[in-house]
Amino acid sequence: MRIRVIRAPSMAEAMRRLVAELGPDAVLLSSRHVDDGVEATAALETDPHDEPLPEVEPAPAPEPRAEAAALAFHNLPPALRERLLAGPLEAMLAASFRFGGLPPLGQRPLLLAGPPGAGKTLTVVKLAARRVLEGEPPPLLVNADQQRPGAAEQLLGVAEVLGAPLAQAPSPAAALQAIALRPAGGAVLIDTPGVDPFEPEQARALAGLIAATRPAVVLVLPAGLDCAEATELARAFRALGATHLLPTRLDAARRLGGVLAAASAGGLVLSLGGTGPEAAGALLPLNAAWLAARLRRRSHHPDPAPPALIAAGVSP
């Protein structure tokens, strides 16, 4: 296994350097804020005949009460919290959830769905930029979001920078026609309007688009949602065809109970996680090790100082 530690001014730059050194199969192990930006640690599985790394004494396991307090902080549903406390946190996460990358681009279109404001358009931009940065041909961008002001302009600007074709799709038939004209095996990313899956007309419209384009469907949800709300949304979008979950705003949300509740209730694969507003990068591969560290740390940022200290101008 090859391990690299990178310090950079931003997470996007750190991810770019890690991909350049280790390749796209690298797995992010941890990230933290430092004085001059961020520090990211990633690993790449190598050939079993490679020279082994020197043994490192493992860190002591956290006290059970500390694990319980951390999971309580994240507001996990009680049944899920008890399941994760039944053994070592990383092992129980690996046993309780499915982790993996997004479905391969080029085999089927990739459609991003979710409620309004979840970050679908920004995620489409990040996925397209990452593909180009990795040296792959730019994907076809299909804008099926004809409702949100500025969605078309945002994708148009990105398409021009990346040299990516952009198709406006006001109907499922228009989306299907655009996809049919792409080069054989070309990647397709479909941006959709924010949908309330409990509103029948909106759910029918999304179902019609999915039926016409036959994509792999990724549910985009912002981290920090109430667990009950996230559970209901995940089940509703699962019924519409979602198979993967891509949580956004992992850098802004302090509690991840909603993310885990959604993945568990919907039986969704935890794939990538979105952080930050940067277009290039800022999509982290999710795995049990990263998630366990994140749950214990509670946040990407240090816990805030008590209000009295902040008012007095004193750091904790």
* Most confident by average pLDDT, 50-59, 129-138, 191-200: 191-200
Share above pLDDT 90 across residues of the chain, in percent, rounded to a whole number: 56
Q: What is the pLDDT of residues 32-67, one digit of tens each?
A: 777 778 777 776 655 444 444 344 444 455 556 788
Q: What is the pLDDT of residue 42?
A: 72
Q: What is the pLDDT of residues 10-28, one digit of tens each?
A: 777 777 787 778 776 666 6
Share above pLDDT 70 across residues of the chain, in percent, rounded to a whole number: 82
Question: How far apart (Å, rounded) are the C-alpha atoms in residues 159 and 153?
Answer: 10
How many angstroms from the chain centroid is the CA of residue 172? 26
Q: What is the pLDDT of residue 7?
A: 85
CATH superfamily membership of 96-297 = P-loop containing nucleotide triphosphate hydrolases (3.40.50.300)
Q: CA-based angle 215:177:194, to the nearest 5?
A: 50
The domains of the chain are located at 2-44, 96-297
Identify the weakest region by mean pLDDT among 4-8, 100-104, 109-113, 253-257.
4-8
Q: What is the pLDDT of residue 55?
A: 43
Q: What is the pLDDT of residue 277?
A: 78
Strand 2-8 with 37-44, pairing: antiparallel
**More confident call, 81 vs 41:** 81
**More confident call, 246 vs 307:** 246
Bridge partners, 2 (sequence order):
44
Bridge partners, 5 (sequence order):
41
How many angstroms from the chain centroid is the CA of residue 149? 24
Q: What is the pLDDT of residue 53?
A: 37
pLDDT of residue 94 exceeding 90: yes
Mean per-residue pLDDT, 264-269: 97
What is the 3-class SS of the chain, one letter each residue?
CEEEEEEECCHHHHHHHHHHHHCCCCEEEEEEEECCEEEEEEEECCCCCCCCCCCCCCCCCCCHHHHHHHHHHCCCCHHHHHHHCCCCHHHHHHHHCEECCCCCECCECEEEECCCCCCHHHHHHHHHHHHHHCCCCCCEEEECCCCCCCHHHHHHHHHHHHCCCEEECCCHHHHHHHHHCCCCCCCEEEECCCCCCCCHHHHHHHHHHHHHHCCEEEEEEECCCCHHHHHHHHHHHHHCCEEEEEEECCCCCCCCHHHHHHHHHHCCEECEEECCCCCCCCEEECCHHHHHHHHHHCCCCCCCCCHHHHHHCCCC
Classify burial at 219, counting beta carbons within 10 Å of its beta carbon; exposed 0-12, middle 13-18, buried 19 or more.
buried
